[in-house]
Structure formats: C-alpha cells, structure tokens
Amino acid sequence: MTFRSPFAIPRQLLTGTTSLASRSAINGRLRCNQRGLATVVPPVTQDATGSKGPTAMVFMNMGGPSTTDEVEDFLSRLFADGDLIPLGRLQSYLGPLIARRRTSKIQKQYADIGGGSPIRKWSEYQCAEMCKLLDKMSPETAPHKPYVAFRYAAPLTETMYEQLFADGFGKGKGGRAVAFTQYPQYSCSTTGSSLNELWKWRNRLEGKRANGGSEPAGTIQWSVIDRWPSHSGLVEAFAQNIEAQLKTYPEEKRDEVVLLFSAHSLPMSVVNRGDPYPAEVAATVHAVMQRLKFKNPYRLCWQSQVGPSAWLGAQTSDTVQEYVKRGQTDLILVPIAFTSDHIETLYELDQEVIHEANNPGVKRAESLNGNPVFIQALADIAHDHLQKGELCSRQMTLRCQGCTSERCLGQKKFFAGQEQASMVI
C-alpha cells in the first residue's frame, strides 16, 4: 500500500500500485477545510471565571496526503519515523531516498483515486461532531474545541500546537488539552509515535527548552486517551455495520457467513518486543463477537505486511484465497483497527483482496466514518476521561518488555504526570 500501513513499508508504496476510491460525500464545510494548514476553530480565551473550559480535543492519527502535492512530504516524514519504520543509523539517508523514488508513482495513484486520502476530512468531521456532543454532555469543560494532529501529513503536530497558541491556550494562559488517539488499539508504532512527536513539540515550543532551561508557567495541561479497544460504543458501531452487511445474504445462509476481521500486521520483531497491539486487537474482535452472540464463525487476520522478515499472520489475502478455495465463498471482511476509510480499506481490501477473490459472496463491512453511533462513542470516551480527570491509562505507564528507548521513557513520564512518573518502568 502507499503507506497505508502504520507499521511498515506498505506493499503498494514499494510496488506503486495504490489506488483510492472516493466513496463518501462530506459536506461543503469540510471540503473547504481540507486544503488549509490546520483545522480552523474559533479563537478562545482563557479566563479566571472558574470554568474548567475551554478544552482542546486533539485527534491524533497517521494522516494521509489530501492532495497529490502533499505526497512527497508525506512519504518523507513517514520514512523518517524510526518508531514506524526502523532503518537504523541509515534512517536519515534511506528515508528521503525511498520517499523520492516512490513519489511520482504514488502521486499518480492518488490522482487516479480522485486526488487524495479521505482521512483528513473524516477526522475533522468526527472531531467537530464529537465536540458538539461534548458541549452538551460536559458543560463544565465546554467549549470543546476540535483539532487534528497528523503524524505524516497536514495538519502536523507543530501546526496544531501553534494553532492552540493562536486560539488562546498556553503561553502563560494555561488551559487544558486532551490528546485523543484515533488508533483504538495501542501500538508503539502508531499511538506511541504520535505521543513521542507531541512530547517533542511540546518541549520545543513551550517546555524548558523554549524557556531558557526552566519550566515556564501557564503551559498547556495535557492528558491522553491512549486506547479504547473494547469500548461498548465502538463495539456497537462495528457490530451494526457487520449486521447490515449480513442482511445482504439470503436469510438461510446468513449464519454460515465467515467474518474475517482484518488489522494491520506488525513485524514479529515488534511483537516480540512486547507491543500491546495484537492483544488489544484481539480484545476488540472478541467484544464484537460477544455482541453478535457468536452466531458466525470468525477469524482475525492481518494485512499489509511486506518484505522478507517475519510478520504476524495469517495474511488477510491468503486467508480469503484459502477459504474460497475450500468452497467457503461467503465472507465479510471487517476492518477492525481503522476509524475511517483510507487506502487500506478502499484499495487493499476492496480493489485487491475482494477483486482477486472474484466471488460475489466476498464483501466488506462499511467503515466507521461518519457513523453517529461511533461519534457518540467518541464523545462517551472523552466525557468519561474528562470526568475521571486521569492523565493517561495506568497501562500506558508500562513500557514494552524489550523497550530500550529513552524517548519512550521520557514521553511516558511526561504524560503520566508527576504522581505517576515513578511508575513508568
């Protein structure tokens, strides 16, 4: 894929075969925002009224090029990220080299699919809608202001941070911001990478480094929603999309349809380091199946692995081919680790796996996108976080068994806060 995999060099990026079909119509307001540098929000002013608001709600995700002009920068950042693609000491040399060599092919692929990834418009829409709900659910922390911070495409973390300053947060005024990962299941390659980037820019723009070596007053107070793999609203949204697709099969065959949950794979080197992602994806699958009363047989499989090293399997494409070969031609693919459509669903599953299966019984469940059940779930998760007042989950304080990264250690200590910093090991 074009860098559709958050975890490794995607196959289409390497082979130049990516495509993306535009399926969603988003309202005009979102289209207007699509080409801007940052999510536009009305200015806010911190005051001394005693209200806990305003609260900045920052959606973190990998992002994707919204236009073909953004492809080279997107690829350069992506290949420069050692948390995502460990290239060792040659990272700064190999990263830009690989990015340059892929750019023209990938630009053409994005042009073929209508000019870009839909991830930005979906993220902005989901965040804005969630904030509207939060304003009603949690008036004491209102107004809730939507922001998006992507790891590899606009709006980048530093752009989001400057926007926070422009809107009246920080710079002596304090204020609260919540970093809300849009990867439901935690991986150090995805959420971990985004948090490392947020911590880096926080230090550069308003930490000791920006203040002559001493911690300045009135900085933004961050907390983190770092995982939500089995939240009941997320589970309900997935389950409803599966049920809608099941209804397209004749009633007498419905319970025989095999559900294939598909998530990005990870290199086994990352899995063996102790990354929590495989277990958390499995938790989502089990919760969805529980909600569906285990009526259908199911498997979890993994997509987007590339290169000669060992990856977590079985592969999604092999799984579909094998079941079809055995005569099981009624299959529903369920993208279980994405919160919106992007290249992994629209190209890899729809145009590759399903196309190659060449059987009308092989289908895909709709992605979450603008699903109101999902957006309510986002609001419920955020509301719960704001009510509890916790800085991050207890789970985030535990590093992977095989982690030797000082950056992981420093980032976790910062987000865990003074009280929990000593628990980070």
Residues known to be catalytic: 231, 380
Q: Tell the smallest beta-carbon distance from residue 245 to ligand FES (Å).
A: 35
Degrees (nearest 5) of the Cα angle 395, 153, 81?
Answer: 55
Per CB under 6 A, 403 contacts ligand FES: yes
CA dist 26 → 37, 120, 125, 375, 410 (Å) = 19, 11, 8, 15, 39
Q: Are 284 and 232 in contact (CB under 8 A)?
A: no
Q: Are 194 and 151 in contact (CB under 8 A)?
A: yes
CA quadruple 77, 80, 81, 86: dihedral sign: positive
Q: Tell the smallest beta-carbon distance from residue 269 to ligand FES (Å).
A: 11
CA distance 412 to 390: 14
Q: Tell the smallest beta-carbon distance from residue 408 to ligand FES (Å).
A: 3
Q: Which is closer to ligand FES, CB of 324 or CB of 424?
A: 424
Q: Which is closer to ligand FES, CB of 49 or CB of 401?
A: 401
Q: Which is closer to ligand FES, CB of 234 or CB of 424?
A: 424
Q: Tell the smallest beta-carbon distance from residue 78 to ligand FES (Å).
A: 18
Q: List the one residue from 21, 400, 410, 413 that touches ligand FES (CB under 6 A).
A: 400
Q: Which is closer to ligand FES, CB of 205 or CB of 281?
A: 281
Q: Which is closer to ligand FES, CB of 203 or CB of 405?
A: 405
Per CB under 6 A, 408 contacts ligand FES: yes
Record the tokens describing residue 392, joined without a space.
């991050």
Q: Which is closer to ligand FES, CB of 84 or CB of 346?
A: 84
Residue 331, classed as helix, strand or coil, is strand
Per CB under 6 A, 144 contacts ligand FES: no
Q: Tell the smallest beta-carbon distance from residue 199 to ligand FES (Å).
A: 13
Q: Which is closer to ligand FES, CB of 192 or CB of 335?
A: 192
Q: Tell the smallest beta-carbon distance from residue 5 to ligand FES (Å).
A: 17
Q: Which is closer to ligand FES, CB of 248 or CB of 272?
A: 272
Q: Which residue has the tokens 């709709």?
A: 366
Q: Tell the smallest beta-carbon distance from residue 85 to ligand FES (Å).
A: 14
Per CB under 6 A, 246 contacts ligand FES: no
Q: Which residue has the tokens 């000791």?
A: 208
Q: Are 149 and 194 in contact (CB under 8 A)?
A: yes
Binding mask 150-189 for ligand FES (x = CB under 6 A): --------------------------------------x-
Per CB under 6 A, 84 contacts ligand FES: no
Residue 3 backbone dihedrals phi, psi, to 5 degrees: -60, 65
Q: How many residues form the binding site for ligand FES (CB under 6 A)?
A: 9
Q: List the one residue from 12, 399, 414, 424 that touches ligand FES (CB under 6 A).
A: 399
Q: Describe the strand order of the beta sheet including 331-335 as a list of residue ranges.
A: 298-303, 258-264, 331-335, 362-364
List the helix and strand counts (H, then E) for the chain. Answer: 15, 8
Span near ligand FES by CB under 6 A; candidates 202-210, 327-335, 383-391, 398-406:
398-406
CA distance 409 to 418: 14
Span near ligand FES by CB under 6 A; candidates 1-9, 53-61, 205-213, 403-411:
403-411
Residue 314, classed as helix, strand or coil, is coil
Q: Three-class SS string for 167-212?
A: CCCCCCCCCEEEEEECCCCCCCCCHHHHHHHHHHHHHHHHCHHHHC
Q: Are 95 and 87 in contact (CB under 8 A)?
A: yes
Span near ligand FES by CB under 6 A; candidates 33-41, 43-51, 160-168, 397-405:
397-405
Q: List the one residue from 24, 405, 417, 420 that touches ligand FES (CB under 6 A).
A: 405
Q: Which residue has the tokens 């709600």?
A: 57
Residue 263, classed as helix, strand or coil, is strand
Return the DSSP state at 362: E
Q: Tell the smallest beta-carbon distance from residue 188 to ligand FES (Å).
A: 3
CA distance 5 to 136: 36
Q: List residues binding ligand FES (CB under 6 A).
A: 188, 192, 273, 275, 399-400, 403, 405, 408
